[in-house]
Amino acid sequence: MSTQHFGAWKNKLRSTNRSPWPLGVEMIVQAPSQKLTSEFAAELRAGLSKNGQRELPSKYLYDEVGSELFEAICLLPEYGLTRADSRLLQRHAEEMMSRMPTPTHVAELGSGSGKKTRMILEALSKRQRTFYYPIEISPAALAACEKELGQLDFVSLVGYEKPYLEGLRAVAARREAGEHVCVLFLGSTIGNFDRPAADDFLRQVRAVLEPGDSLLLGADLEKDVSLQVAAYDDPAGVTAAFNLNLLGRVNRELGGNFQLRDFHHLALWNEEERRIEMHLQATRRQHIEIPGASFYFRMEEGETIWTESSHKYSPDEPAQMARRAGFRQIAQWIDDLWPFAQNLWIVD
């Protein structure tokens, strides 16, 4: 196609494109439900109107684009976390599942694409027919998981597009006498919670469970700070794109006017809290309008929006967290290449 033709074609399309964003975007982004949109708007208003540090909840990073960018992050050489998680499951899933009573069904908090879970389901299914309940608020991630694991013929998959605890309660409500539940919380997603909030969340998970049930918790461990920072600030800019896409999502779903080019991705190690923080820093003063959330504000040059925390743990920390939440840690496996732990907790 010659440049001239291309130009003419583009102009023709542009004149019929009445949406505020580039052509074609509507087709690739699923319209979220009314309820989810108003929750997004409410949480966005609450986070962005904070005095001092503005914030956006990290769970909103995972729309269709964000979920794909996260899959790409998992392939980056600097982000060893997912490979360590997978290696441990690969090596020890049999042993882990051999410790479960029969029958044990699997509920996974934040299924992601489902790739890691296959090893657990295969190990369990050697001795029983297994129900698998992925619980995931991202429809894109849930669909990917159903595609990856829905075909296993020894597994019945029932997905819940719900927040973690709501989904878990729905799973528990289905349980019949003598059936046990193993909750998977992999990939160090627990790290997105502040330490007190993690305790509180794990206690709420425990409250849904019964003796003989279990929780397999993946936790990324503290390591050399430069390695830790590089994992969240890769030179190819994939993590930056993942972070910036959150503003893109606000623009698409709530009609915001964030200029993504006027923000800079930051990954900082907070020594006191022992966590990586991702921020988006305004590189110039700007007026932000988000009509879908009826929210308007000004950002000063250098000001940041805090978008995610990824807490890092000492090797002993998971066992202490287990105790505080009413579990008992019965085993821990640590990867030998990338400090990361799988922690197996049971309810006595």
Separation of alpha carbons 164 and 147, rounded Å: 21
Check residue 335 for interaction with ligand AVJ (CB under 6 A): no
Is the CB of 61 or the CB of 93 nearer to ligand AVJ?
A: 61
Cα Rg of the chain, angstroms: 22
Which of the stretches 29-37, 117-125, 189-197, 222-230 binds ligand AVJ when contact is defined by CB under 6 A? Answer: 189-197
Separation of alpha carbons 304 and 283, rounded Å: 9
- CB 230 → ligand AVJ: shortest distance, Å? 11
Is the CB of 295 or the CB of 338 nearer to ligand AVJ?
A: 338
Query: Are 326 and 94 a contacting pair, CB within 8 Å?
Result: no
45: exposed, middle or buried (Cβ count in 10 Å: 0-12, 13-18, 19+): middle
Separation of alpha carbons 128 and 143, rounded Å: 25
Is the CB of 81 or the CB of 171 nearer to ligand AVJ?
A: 81
Which of the stretches 116-124, 186-194, 252-260, 337-345 binds ligand AVJ when contact is defined by CB under 6 A? Answer: 186-194
Q: Crossing angle of helices 117-125/139-149, nearest 10°? A: 40
Pick from 86, 228, 310, 343 the residue near ligand AVJ by CB under 6 A. 310
Check residue 239 for interaction with ligand AVJ (CB under 6 A): yes
Pick from 56, 65, 73, 141 the residue near ligand AVJ by CB under 6 A. 73
Is the CB of 139 or the CB of 292 nearer to ligand AVJ?
A: 139
Tell me, what amino acid is at 60? Y
Which of the stretches 113-121, 184-192, 284-292, 334-342 binds ligand AVJ when contact is defined by CB under 6 A? Answer: 184-192
Q: Which of residues 75-94 bind ligand AVJ (CB under 6 A)?
A: 81
Is the CB of 192 or the CB of 251 nearer to ligand AVJ?
A: 192
Alpha carbon 77 to chain centroid, angstroms:
19
- What per-residue string of b and e applies to 111-131 under the rule 16 or more CB within 10 Å gives b? bbbbbbbbbbbbbbbeeeebb
HEC readout, 17-57: CCCCCCCCHHHHCCCCCHHHHHHHHHHHHHHHCCCCCEECC
Check residue 191 for interaction with ligand AVJ (CB under 6 A): yes
Name the residue whose CB lies closest to ligand AVJ.
310
Nearest to 174 by CA among 94, 117, 121, 103: 103
Is the CB of 239 or the CB of 251 nearer to ligand AVJ?
A: 239
Which of the stretches 29-37, 188-196, 294-302, 320-328 binds ligand AVJ when contact is defined by CB under 6 A? Answer: 188-196
Is the CB of 81 or the CB of 97 nearer to ligand AVJ?
A: 81
- The binding site for ligand AVJ (CB under 6 A) comprises 73, 81, 187-189, 191-192, 232, 239, 308, 310
